Amino acid sequence: MRRSYVVEILFTLVLFTLFVVGSFFILLSGANAYQKQVEEIQNVEELRLPLSYISTKLHQANKDNVSIEIVDGINCLLIEEVIDNKTYVDMFYYQDGYLYETFSALDILSIKNGERVCAISNLIMEDRGEDGLYFEVTNDDNITKSLNIVLR
């Protein structure tokens, strides 16, 4: 009878160990899935920020005051605004891994005065005429997100 008692205890311990090990692997798998989901969300948010910022600025602007031009050798989005009979420009451009913004008078427009908005790996800006403006942002993981805005 003693032998039967030892076998029951060993069987119970083995069964409990299998349960604990199985639970551990299930938790580990869930944690990995959660981590991947968080990284994916962060990548999307990193791309959404610069596009949302540019989109908001464009929606506040008049269609006739928006252009994409080269300033100091860099492709820039220019949004002109008249304040107290003087023309100012809100300028966006990509340089050295960052989206920059500069707000200055038209006559002293330069990329040297830019402020960093956010880190990105690349920004493509195109004026597609009647099809609007096209923007494409790339992050460090080479994930891209694009935006096409038709101004009214």
What does the pLDDT read at residue 132?
A: 86
The span from the CA of 46 to the CA of 37, in Å, is 14
CA dist 91 and 130 (Å) reads 22
What backbone phi and psi angles, to 5 degrees, belong to 117?
A: -100, -55
- The SS3 assignment for 103 reads strand
User: Residue 78 in contact with residue 89, Cβ under 8 Å?
Assistant: yes
Q: Does the pTM of the predicted model rise above 0.75?
A: no
The residue written with tokens 């420009």 in the block is: 89
User: In the prediction, which pLDDT does 71 show?
Assistant: 87
Task: Tell me, yes or no, whether 14 lies in a domain.
Answer: no
pLDDT of residue 15: 93
Residue 20, in any domain of the structure = no
Whether residue 42 lies inside any domain: the answer is yes
How many domains would you assign to the chain?
1
Structural domain boundaries enclosing 119: 38-149
Q: Kindly state whether residue 16 falls inside one of the protein's structural domains.
A: no
For residue 27, is it within any domain?
no
Specify the pLDDT at position 1.
54
**pLDDT in the model for residue 125:** 92
Question: Is 1 part of a structural domain of the chain?
Answer: no
pLDDT at res. 7: 84
24 in a structural domain = no
Residue 17 lies in a domain: no
Q: How many residues does the chain have?
A: 152
Question: What string of pLDDT tens digits covers the 152 residues of the chain?
Answer: 577 788 888 889 999 999 999 999 999 999 989 998 988 887 777 788 899 999 999 988 888 889 998 888 899 999 999 888 899 999 999 998 899 999 988 888 888 888 999 888 899 999 888 888 999 998 888 888 888 988 87
